[in-house]
Amino acid sequence: MLIIGIAGGTGSGKTTVVEQIVEEFPKNEVCVISQDSYYRDTSHLTYDERVRINFDHPQSIDFELLVQHLRDLKKGNAVEQPVYSFVEHNRTGETVTFEPKKVVIVEGILILTNKDLRELCDVKLYVHADSDERLIRRLRRDMAERGRDLNEVLNRYQSTLKPMHEQFIEPTKEFADIIIPTNRYNTVAVQLLRNIIHQKLV
């Protein structure tokens, strides 16, 4: 099994890079695991308390469970991934079954902040994009997909996302094997990555 970690700031274009990698392989050979599914269970908190959680801090992620799931997959065992609701800011109680695949892609803004997770990754990527571009993408996504209004997204960006990016996410570039700029369609970097994956799978 080949584990690929893809990190980068919010709205950097990680999803686009993941899609470009996934299309190279048959569906039965690759799966994508999102960090977003591993936010800690917050059932013990009220909704108002959950809204105030800093979800861009590494402590908000249940890395212990994510790392254990990756280790289980490497052993050939299926895992039950939590389902997370961005509307309720909590796990739903449901799970999704993931079977072991030849290629497992783990993506999320904070995945390279965790040493155990970094050590499990065979290839580590950091997707870079200009801060203005990231903000625009975040606005579009949160308003269209997560039911947030403009002021809520902007306030969260200024108070939480931007400082957390500078403190925790940007510094993880140093752990990346490849840094991919996504201000344009970077075919060379993606093809390089595909070649690395094919070589490791041989």
Going from N- to C-terminal start, the domains of the chain cover 2-196
Amino acid 61: pLDDT:
95
Extract the tokens encoding 51: 């809204």
pLDDT level of residue 105 (50, 70, 90 thresholds)? very high
Model confidence, pTM: 0.85
- Spell out the SS3 assignment of 132-176: HHHHHHHHHHHHHHCCCCHHHHHHHHHHHHHHHHHHHHHHHHHHC
Q: Look at residues 80, 89, 112, 87 and name the one whose alpha carbon lies nearest to residue 3.
A: 112
* pLDDT greater than 70 at residue 88: yes
pLDDT of residue 89: 85
The strand pairing partners of 4, in sequence order, are 105, 123
For the domain covering 2-196, report its CATH number.
Answer: 3.40.50.300
